[in-house]
Chains A and B, each alone.
Chain A
Amino acid sequence: KQEVTQIPAALSVPEGENLVLNCSFTDSAIYNLQWFRQDPGKGLTSLLLIQSSQREQTSGRLNASLDKSSGRSTLYIAASQPGDSATYLCAVRRTGFQKLVFGTGTRLLVSP
């Protein structure tokens, strides 16, 4: 059974800092991994999708990396802004399965 864990559970940083969010998964036979952001009471917004054959993806100030062998992904946010405050979730799709398994999430607060 695939288990996905995110560390830290919560993070508070001042504006302008670079930060790293971590995601660990137990089964390395994954098809892809996605990072999402969720604002309180809202739906999820897809940030980046990394296929199992890829090592990283970049979008603006965001960079996500994937290391299947160690069961880890990181989301790097450069020059954080108050608007980045949200819960960040990673989700893993195992090979041969249509189901996404979500991590426990990291609540990020960026203070002005």
Chain B
Amino acid sequence: DTEVTQTPKHLVMGMTNKKSLKCEQHMGHRAMYWYKQKAKKPPELMFVYSYEKLSINESVPSRFSPECPNSSLLNLHLHALQPEDSALYLCASSQIGANEKLFFGSGTQLSVL
């Protein structure tokens, strides 16, 4: 199994809603990532978890809250988002070490109204 599975594929939410994005992998990878991608732009790193601990937070606003319940799961909790947060949110995973090829999920297309 070389897949990273993200749910939901599409999400529309109001600025007062609370929602969560989910990501799962069963490749035994111990690093998991959240990226944000605006249209026609490259992905921008948001968070990195290594061995289930947050290792990188790229100064992301607190309305985005990551969680790594175990080595296979990664969540991104969303609260009080702004319309400018509308984007494709990508999850990725990799081994830690020499072969750090990233495997990406297909993403969640988020629209904030």
**Is the pair A99, B102 in contact by a Cβ cutoff of 8 Å?**
no
User: In the complex the two chains form, what is the Cα distance from A43 to B55 in whole Å?
Assistant: 23
**By the criterion of a CB under 8 Å from any partner CB, how many residues of chain A are at the interface?**
22
**Is the pair A43, B104 in contact by a Cβ cutoff of 8 Å?**
yes
Of residues 48 through 99 on chain A, the ones whose CB sits less than 8 Å from some CB of chain B are 49, 51, 89, 91, 93, 98-99
User: In the complex the two chains form, what is the Cα distance from A82 to B54 in whole Å?
Assistant: 41
Beta-carbon nearest neighbor of B58 in chain A: A99
B68 contacts partner chain A, Cβ-Cβ < 8 Å:
no
- Min Cβ gap B61→A in Å is 18
- Min Cβ gap B57→A in Å is 11
- Min Cβ gap B21→A in Å is 13
**Is the pair A41, B102 in contact by a Cβ cutoff of 8 Å?**
no
User: In the complex the two chains form, what is the Cα distance from A102 to B37 in whole Å?
Assistant: 11
Of residues 1 through 54 on chain A, the ones whose CB sits less than 8 Å from some CB of chain B are 31-32, 34, 36, 41-46, 49, 51
User: Which A residues are CB-close (under 8 A) to B101?
Assistant: 34, 46, 49
User: In the complex the two chains form, what is the Cα distance from A105 to B44 in whole Å?
Assistant: 13
**Is the pair B50, A103 in contact by a Cβ cutoff of 8 Å?**
no
**Chain A residues at the B interface, C-beta cutoff of 8 Å:** 31-32, 34, 36, 41-46, 49, 51, 89, 91, 93, 98-100, 102-105
